[in-house]
Amino acid sequence: MKMDIFLRSLGDPGFQQGVAVDLDVNQSTVSRTLITVSEAIYSKRNNWITFPNTNDLLGVAINEWANTKRMPSVIGAIDCTHVKITKPRIHGDEYVNRKGICSTNV
């Protein structure tokens, strides 16, 4: 139930009372759950979020992105980051975003 509350709150970041009504819990439960789950995720941040901390690791990351995604000089991406690309010849229209620019979500 905690993840239901947490994800619902992230998906619709309005008032906690609305989430409480939708999930049939008290607003105070929503508030406590947001704090508890946020703290749990934060405590795991070093396991889930990494950054190359040596020149060798930086080079490995750059090469992996260049070789697997054809994105030179990239070392990583944050979820929902749109990176501008050249329109592919095959299915190119599928890569045009709402701003009319070709991009891919990484």
Say whether pLDDT at 80 is over 70.
Answer: no
Say whether pLDDT at 31 is over 70.
Answer: yes
In this prediction, residues 44-56 reach a mean pLDDT of 90
Q: Residue holding tokens 């941040």?
A: 45
* Whether 105 contacts 80, CB under 8 Å: yes
In this prediction, residues 26-38 reach a mean pLDDT of 96
Q: What's the chain's average pLDDT?
A: 89
% residues pLDDT > 90 (the chain) = 55
Q: Is the pTM of this model over 0.75?
A: no
Distances (CA, A) of 53 to 50, 61, 63: 9, 11, 15
Say whether pLDDT at 43 is over 90.
Answer: yes
